Amino acid sequence: MKVCVNGRSVELTNATSTKAAYALRHELGLCDVRIGCGEGYCGACTVLVDGKPTTSCDLPLWALEDKNITTVRGLGSPERPHAVQSAFVEEQAGQCGYCLSGILVTSAALLDTGRPLTEGEIRAALDRHLCRCGAHGRMVKAVLRAQATLREQA
């Protein structure tokens, strides 16, 4: 089955009923896709499917056919990080980091809308992402920082 992951077209041979997160991690080695609850509740496994934040632990692989998938690795590189990746580092917005892959892709999708975001809107968008370390306050500050950076660059 063909999917486009982080800008690259790849063939996956897993059964199409395999959950997407497991195929992405085990067949493509994308260990940046995290698995927490494995049941669609915590948001750790979130990836962008055609730009939309989507949990992948409860999604059958067939749902990704001919779609564009972006994992946190596809947002930017260490040399050219996405504004939200830089902002999370600058705000030290994470602790153990386990939840961050999902939170970063959701934040990037939110910023991609290009509309001015209030703190309340950012909190609402990240509400379904659980962070056991309780770093949400710093994450919200980081998204606001990324928004300011992107505005300066526009």
Rounded to a whole number of angstroms, the minimum distance from the CB of residue 52 to ligand FES is: 15
Residue 102 contacts by C-beta under 8 Å, 6 or more apart in sequence? 34, 43, 44, 45, 46, 47, 53, 55, 72, 129
Contact between 6 and 74 (Cβ < 8 Å)? yes
In the shown chain, the binding pattern of residues 87 to 126 toward ligand FES, with x for contact by CB under 6 A and - for none, equals -------xxxxxx---------------------------
Burial letters for 15-30: b for 16+ Cβ neighbours within 10 Å, e otherwise?
eeebbbbbbbbeebeb
Rounded to a whole number of angstroms, the minimum distance from the CB of residue 115 to ligand FES is: 26
Can residue 53 be called a binding residue for ligand FES (CB under 6 A)? no
Whichever of 83 and 142 has its CB closer to ligand FES, that residue is 142
List residues binding ligand FES (CB under 6 A).
Answer: 35-38, 40-45, 55, 57, 94-99, 131-133, 135
